[in-house]
């Protein structure tokens, strides 16, 4: 169920978001993962698992939206699939329906944050030239003030 009020995820149990079983045992044949789709060393997988606190603004069965720790605009929310994909290109090709769920969650957050009238920006930084720093697919939802030109040169 979507949550309306921001909450902090510190109290959430550490479970694998893919299979909802207790995490801690590496998936058979897949080094570095609790279970398929969950990377131990991935920051955003750890937020999904409740191991790292975040201010969650919306949660659905397959997606999570939480405030960016270093906001670049009055509203700066990250929207992710709970399952691990390295970037939006990988996500979009492997699971277009899940990519669509990420967009639907972003739209719902934009509406809840009052961004639909004045507008907002949705960015998927991808790879080195795209400036991606966290390699778990995520959309930046930015708004709440004029955002200026799309790119500065």
Active site residues: 138
Round to whole Å and give the CA distance between 22 and 55.
Answer: 22
Closest by Cα among 43, 42, 53, 44 to 12: 53
Q: Out of 35, 58, 82, 84, name the contact with Zn ion by CB under 5 A.
A: 84
- Binding flags for ligand 5GP, 42-81, as an x/- string (CB under 6 A): -x--------x-x-----------xxxxx-----------
Rule CB under 6 A: say whether 10 interacts with ligand 5GP.
no
Q: Judging by beta carbons within 10 Å of its beta carbon (0-12, 13-18, 19+), is residue 18 exposed, middle or buried?
A: buried
Q: Is 19 or 40 the residue whose CB approaches ligand 5GP more closely?
A: 40
Q: 84 is in the binding site of which of Zn ion, ligand 5GP, none (Cβ under 5 to 8 A by kind)?
A: Zn ion
Beta carbons of 40 and 32 less than 8 angstroms apart: yes
Rule CB under 5 A: say whether 138 interacts with Zn ion.
no
Round to whole Å and give the CA distance between 135 and 62.
Answer: 18
Round to whole Å and give the CA distance between 46 and 44.
Answer: 5
Q: 136 is in the binding site of which of ligand 5GP, Zn ion, none (Cβ under 5 to 8 A by kind)?
A: Zn ion
Q: Out of 92, 134, 144, 147, name the contact with ligand 5GP by CB under 6 A.
A: 134
């Amino acid at each position: 169920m979507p949550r309306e009020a921001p909450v902090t995820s510190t109290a959430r149990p550490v479970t694998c978001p893919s299979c909802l079983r207790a995490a801690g045992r590496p998936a058979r044949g897949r080094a570095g993962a609790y279970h398929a789709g969950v990377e131990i060393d991935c920051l955003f997988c750890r937020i999904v698992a409740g191991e790292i606190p975040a201010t969650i603004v919306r949660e659905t069965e397959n997606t999570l939206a939480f405030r960016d720790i270093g906001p670049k605009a009055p509203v700066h929310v990250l929207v992710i699939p709970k399952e691990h994909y390295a970037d939006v290109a990988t996500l979009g090709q492997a699971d277009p329906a899940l990519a669509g769920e990420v967009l639907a969650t972003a739209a719902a957050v934009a509406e809840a944050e009052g961004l639909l009238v004045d507008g907002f920006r949705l960015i998927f930084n991808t790879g080195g030239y795209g400036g991606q720093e966290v390699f778990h697919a995520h959309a930046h939802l930015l708004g709440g003030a004029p955002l200026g030109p799309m790119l500065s040169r």
